[in-house]
Each structure stands twice: as C-alpha cells, then as structure tokens.
Amino acid sequence: MTSDLSATANRHLWGHFARHGAGITPPVIARGDGVTIWDDRGKSYLDALSALFVVQVGHGREELAEAAARQAGTLAYFPLWSYATPPAIELAERLADYAPGDLNRVFFTSGGGEAVETAWKLAKQYFKLTGKPGKYKVISRAVAYHGTPQGALALTGVPKYQAPFEPLTPGAVKVPNTNFYRAPEPLRSDVKAFSRWAADRIAEAIEFEGPDTVAAVFLEPVQNAGGCIPPPPGYFERVREICDDYDVLLVSDEVICAYGRIGSMFACDDFGYVPDMITCAKGLTSGYSPIGAMIASDRLFEPFNDGTTIFPHGYTFGGHPVSAAVALANLDIFERERLNDRVKHNAAALRATLEKLYDLPIVGDVRGEGYFYAIELVKDQASRETFSADERRQLLPRLSSALFDAGLYCRIDDRGDPAIQIAPPLISGQPEFDTIESILRSVLTEAR
C-alpha cells in the first residue's frame, strides 16, 4: 500500500511549493495524535511546526471531527450570499468579542490569502465611497509573505514567488522589515532607534507615493518569511500614529499569529495596537476544516450600511457552516484548556531552550515570540556572515532531510537569510522543547 500511494502521488498529485521529477517522492503523512505525526511506513515525528502554523490544539481531537459531523447532519452547506447560517452568525459574534477596539464586522473567506485579498479590496472601495478615490496603493515589508492570489502576491515581498506571475497587481510598495539582527550598522546597537527608523520608512514611503494615493499598510505582528521577525519596542505604536496622520488603514495580517500563536487570540493585543482590519485563518479551526476571515472596524462598514451599497466580493465556501462549527468547537478547547495562558506561561522556557543552541557556531540568531521561533543560520557567528547562494543550495536541502530523518518536522525558511522555523502545537511543553533542541543540536553539529 505504501509503494502504491507513493507511485500514485508521483503520477497525479501536484504539490504546493513542491519540486517534482528527478526521483523526488513526497513523504506521505498518514496519521496524527497530539504533537506527533506518522508517515505511511509507521515512522513517527514530532510536529514542531503545527503542520503549517495551524494545528494549535494538536492532532486527533475527536470532538472537532464530531462537531463537523453534527453540523453536516443539520446543514452541510449554504452560502452567505445575502443569507446567513447559525454557525456563521455565532462565530462572527465570538470573533468580534475577541477582537480589539471596534472591529465588529467579520467577512468570512476560505483561507488566509483570500482574507488578505479581501482586505485590500475593501480598503480600495472604502476610500472610493468616502470621497478619496485615488487611494489604492498598499505598503508591506521586504521578504514578507501575504499569500499567493494576485493581489496578495503583490503584497508579498519575496521576488522569486512573484517573478513567474509578473506583471503584478499595481500599487504595492515595499519598506524594510524589522529584523534587528540584520539592522543597518549604525542602528545595530540601539533597538529603539532602529524601531523608529523602521517605522518611519513607512511614513517616507507614503510621502514619496503621495498620501492621497496610499490606502493601507499590511503588517504581520511577527513577520513569518525571513524567520519569525518580531517588532522592536515602540514600532507598532509609531506605525499607528503614521497611519492616523495620513488617513491610511492599518491591516494586521494575523493568518499565522492569531489564535494563541503569540499568546492572545489576536497578536495585535500582545503588541498593544488596534488595527483597522485583521486578517486571519490557520489556527481558527486548528486545521480541522478550512476557513479564514477579515475582521473590519465599524468605521469601515459604515458606508455599506445604507440599505443600498454592497461590497461586490465573496467566496463560495466563505463561512462554510461545517467549518464555522469546527471553529466554535476549537475555540471552546482554547478557553477550556486555557491555551493562550499556557503559551504565555511557557514562552520564556521555549526561548531559553532554543537559546542553548547559541554555543553552535552555525547559529547566528534565535528570535521570535510566543510559540513562534526561528534560528537563523550563519557561516560565521562573530561576523554574522551568511552563506553564499551555492552554499545554501548545498546545505539547506541536506539539512531539511536530516532533521526529518531524525524525527523532527520543522521548516527551513530560505526566503531571506536561512533560518529554521519552530512553531509547535500550543499543547506542547518542556518535554517537547527539549526534544526539539536535542534534535536540532545533533543535526546542526553534524551539518557544520
């Protein structure tokens, strides 16, 4: 059966972001329970990435499958196109209760990229309806990943993902990210000065493009691509000021960071800012069923609340009743097991455990927040010299295979300077942290 599955995958399955041919066969992951996954040969692995920053409550939660079955037996599907369903209504209310400020309007999508696409489209139409039709441009950060639909792809700051699909959707502008480890030399010793510098590049970009042309700024609370890049102190406070000064919307892209990954339901709360929109997905159902959402402020909804104006945008499976029911059951687990408090309590221990790896010369930086960390790899620890393109092509695939062979499922992020990303399920604790560190230590020692 195993060989049949592999052969069938090679013949028919087109993997996402995957290489094919040349004898490459994807591992077949057949089962999961708690923090462990198994392949179709019965070998187990510690899931140190929550599959893809998704499975917050762990694998094998029967109550989530049961919630899906119950809802499917009552109403398996109905669209939200001028109609509503009980699970979508209840979930929208619950998300609005969790969200900060007056973010009370929830627009459901099928996933994260669609949520980002929705936010950009809403920003453009909102300004058209409020007398500023020239505001259509959006600002995002270098190396940031915001999805692959055409609009979201333009926001994404990874050129190799964009090049095959050019010309891109017009209007996307890039500014520096907040990687303090790679800060310009004069700012490397002063994190507050670096924070102000990075935030002010957004104001500079708005001025350069023209304030009457810029609609929104899209920022992840902790940037994923480039290796879990947290914001320096004061960064989001300054960005909020800039957005207010120029009447530009602040979108908190929390497709990864929401639902406990950093410690709160929404990571903007962890960093003390209130955005105009939140985009989210992944952990909302812990991956047991697909769903995403764009959550907007009452201010943004107001022009559509006149009985006439519509937002001409939607998805067939947005707010799917089964997915919404699973999300509600997933959030019940969060509250019952106090998973957000667990992350806040254990985050320092995860950091301390990973920081033990600093004694390895190949480890340059350990950074992140909550249960979302990266270990940046360097050629020389003292000088912070990174690997050449040729060295990366040789090292990173071998490193990825070695970690997986050693029983650790994680991610080698090569979209910026090379880094290993760690994001275990929120049910993880010190035993899992120790296993992660032990396997990383063994493989990185051998790699060096």
The candidate with the shortest Cα–Cα distance to 268, out of 247, 240, 309, 299, is 240
Angle, helix 191-209 to helix 235-246, in steps of 10 degrees = 20
Query: What pTM was computed for the model?
Result: 0.96
Kindly state the tokens that stand for 427: 């049910």
Q: What is the DSSP secondary structure assignment for residue 385, as one 8-state letter? A: B
Please list, residue by residue across 414-443, b when 16 or more beta carbons sit within 10 angstroms of its beta carbon and e when fewer do: bbbbbbbbbbbbbbbeeebbebbbebbeeb
Cα–Cα distance measured from residue 206 to residue 250, given in angstroms and rounded to the nearest whole number:
13
Q: What is the DSSP secondary structure assignment for residue 312, as one 8-state letter? A: -
- Is 15 exposed, middle or buried (CB count within 10 Å of its CB: 0-12, 13-18, 19+)? exposed
User: Do you find a cis peptide bond into 275, omega within 30 degrees of 0?
Assistant: no
| Alpha helix (H) residue ranges in 274-356 | 298-301, 321-337, 339-355
For residue 372, the Cα-to-chain-centroid distance in whole angstroms is 10
Please list, residue by residue across 136-167, b when 16 or more beta carbons sit within 10 angstroms of its beta carbon and e when fewer do: bbbbbbbbbbbbbbebbbbbbbbeebbeeeee
The candidate with the shortest Cα–Cα distance to 387, out of 418, 421, 359, 419, is 418
Per-residue pLDDT of the chain (448 residues; tens, 9 = 90+): 556 888 899 899 999 989 999 988 899 999 999 999 999 999 999 999 999 999 999 999 999 999 999 999 999 999 999 999 999 999 999 999 999 999 999 999 999 999 999 999 999 999 999 999 999 999 999 999 999 999 999 999 999 999 999 999 999 999 999 999 999 989 999 999 999 999 999 999 999 999 999 999 999 999 999 999 999 999 999 999 999 999 999 999 999 999 999 999 999 999 999 999 999 999 999 999 999 999 999 999 999 999 999 999 999 999 999 999 999 999 999 999 999 999 999 999 999 999 999 999 999 999 999 999 999 999 999 999 999 999 999 999 999 999 999 999 999 999 999 999 999 999 999 999 999 999 999 999 998 7
C-alpha separations of 353 from 356, 404, 422, 426, 430 in Å: 6, 20, 12, 16, 9
For residue 187, the Cα-to-chain-centroid distance in whole angstroms is 27
Helix (H, G, I), strand (E, B) or coil at 216: strand
